[in-house]
A and B are shown apart, each in its own frame.
Chain A
Amino acid sequence: MSEYSVRVKNTSKKFRLYHEKRTTIYESLVGSFNRKPHYETLQVLDNISFEVKKGESFGIVGRNGSGKTTLLRILSHIYQADSGSVETDGIVVPVLALGLGFHPELTATTNIYQSSILLGISKKQITENIDEIIKFAELEKFADVKLKNFSSGMQMRLAFATAVQVDPSILLLDEVIAVGDLNFQKKCRAVMMDFKERGKSIILVSHSPSDIEQLCDRAMFLKNGHIDAIGKPPEVLDAYRNYMDSLQK
């Protein structure tokens, strides 16, 4: 495990796609007499294997629904994989497209506490860092404002700033950079460079080819749940572009 921080071997994940979802007991009871299968299984990830080295940043590209976010959720133990093995070395912090599990009725400060404690940081440590987090997110005026009043860009900034101070060994970023304004994007890139220099791994999901090309050492193209291309970013991006072009014809 010394050289790699993430090791995924033959991992698969299926979801049940309910065509008419039964959520009440009555419907389930009626449904159990009705033998017709009411769902189909969707193979979201099909036999995925890859590794990420320490100090490496790894990009993932693919169409919407190709399994990118599901993969990040499996890496951060939110989902359980159906088969295969997933090994991660150190704290994993996922910053998914919707934030960091923030609660709309709580203030920015309370949310930072809640999420950081969940990610394994002690309360004392958060108290020491909280001013810095808020400053990094450029939200000094909004520290005591409830999150429901934040714009999506502000929420994303807060999520990124909180995730960074946890100082994880593996940082998972899902469509994060694109949300902030230009200055914040610059800051994000600087932080990512710093992370890499300190031997931490970053997995970046992005639809921006330039981000993948500039920020990632290696990349992977996910097509309908399996790996279509993996390697140097330019080659992977070519495969991705060719595929997208072929769909348009």
Chain B
Amino acid sequence: MTTIRDEMWKFRGILFNFAITDLKIRYKNSVLGILWSVVEPLLMLGVLFFVFSTMFKFEIEHFPIYLLSGIITYNFFKNGTNIALASLSNRSSLITQIYFPRSIPAISSCLTASIMLIVELVILGIFMVVLQFTPPLTIIFLIPIYLLAFVFVLGISLGLSVLNVKFKDVEFIWGIVLHAGFFLTPIFYQFDMLPENVRNILQLSPMVQIVTMVHHVTLYGTFPSLNSILYTSVSIFLILGIGYLIFRKYQARIVEEM
């Protein structure tokens, strides 16, 4: 792990450069540009709010804020891993012509997603003002929660970025995983609405844990249980380790597959 840190420090300039160009390329030829990263979750919010508050009559306290905070958190995971997935294979011309550490695209993808997350959090803030919702002081704990989420996204991104060069299927499989994950995470429902045996399985997902933590600190002013914090941290760092091992196994020869 030390070598990866040294390389990162040496190449820190390019990390941000990649993150910015990722955003530029993502929104090229679009009139709204970066505003899309705001419009997209808002449209999602509108649809889900309509479906679950008028059609299914869910009664969740502060439903718009509950929904939006979940969508934003899941979006961070979705954006980061999705951008990272293609980050190496999209840069084949660069990788075959200049040497740089192969981990940089995956890491900068997580930075791109972080920039988008910050923009979306501003929108959440505006919603709170408009809906006259005063968040509890515990909202400050969003910072460590999102840092933990960053580690999670990074671990998965490192693995996905090299695997997608080896096996094109990864892209399709990951699309399904993200879709399923959206429904299996308490974003538009409350976790305790589910039967207990389902909950027991789903709570193994770090994303379920993170979204629940976000709800705790932004809506209810409570802390997640110590067990949940411990489990989430350990599993996320385990995933980072596995992601790094996969990355290390394939990274040297990846350029020959391009």
- Using a CB–CB distance below 8 Å, which chain A residues touch chain B? 15-16, 23-26, 28, 73, 76-80, 94, 96, 98-103, 105-106, 110, 113-115, 117-119, 122-123
Contacts and interface: CB of A to CB of B under 8 A. Distances in A.
A103 B93 contact: yes
Contacts of B137: none
Interface string B1-34: 0000000000101100110010011001000000
Interface stretch (B71-79, B96-104, B210-218, B224-232): B96-104
Contacts of B28: 105
B167 A98 contact: no
Nearest to B24: A106
A203 to B, nearest CB: 15
Which of A73, A80, A103, A118 is packed against the most chain B CB atoms within 10 Å?
A118
A105 B21 CA distance: 10
A78 B93 contact: no
A245 B224 CA distance: 79
Closest 4 CB pairs of A and B: A101-B94, A101-B97, A77-B99, A101-B98
A79 B256 contact: yes
18 contacts: A15-B256, A23-B166, A23-B167, A23-B168, A28-B167, A76-B98, A76-B99, A78-B95, A78-B97, A79-B255, A80-B252, A80-B253, A99-B93, A102-B93, A114-B21, A117-B14, A118-B14, A118-B100
Contacts of A119: 98
- In this complex, which of A77, A78, A80 has the most chain B Cβ atoms within 10 angstroms of its Cβ? A78
B171 to A, nearest CB: 11
Nearest to A97: B97
Contacts of B97: 78, 94, 96, 98-101
Nearest to B93: A101
B169 interface: yes
A80 B256 CA distance: 10
Nearest to B100: A118
A79 B258 CA distance: 12
A113 B17 contact: yes
Contacts of A25: 167, 169
| Interface SS of B by simple majority | helix
A196 to B, nearest CB: 24
Nearest to B163: A25
Contacts of A79: 255-256
Contact of B21 (A80, A94, A106): A106
B167 A78 contact: no
A73 B98 CA distance: 9
A28, A98, A99, A101 — most chain B CB neighbours (10 Å): A101
A150 to B, nearest CB: 14
B21 to A, nearest CB: 6
A94 B98 contact: yes
Nearest to A102: B93
Contacts of A77: 99
A26 B98 contact: no
A100 B168 CA distance: 26
Interface string B86-97: 000001011111
A24 B98 contact: no
Nearest to A93: B98
Contacts of B256: 15-16, 79
B251 to A, nearest CB: 10
A129 B99 CA distance: 22
B17 A78 contact: no
A115 B98 contact: yes
B14 A100 contact: no
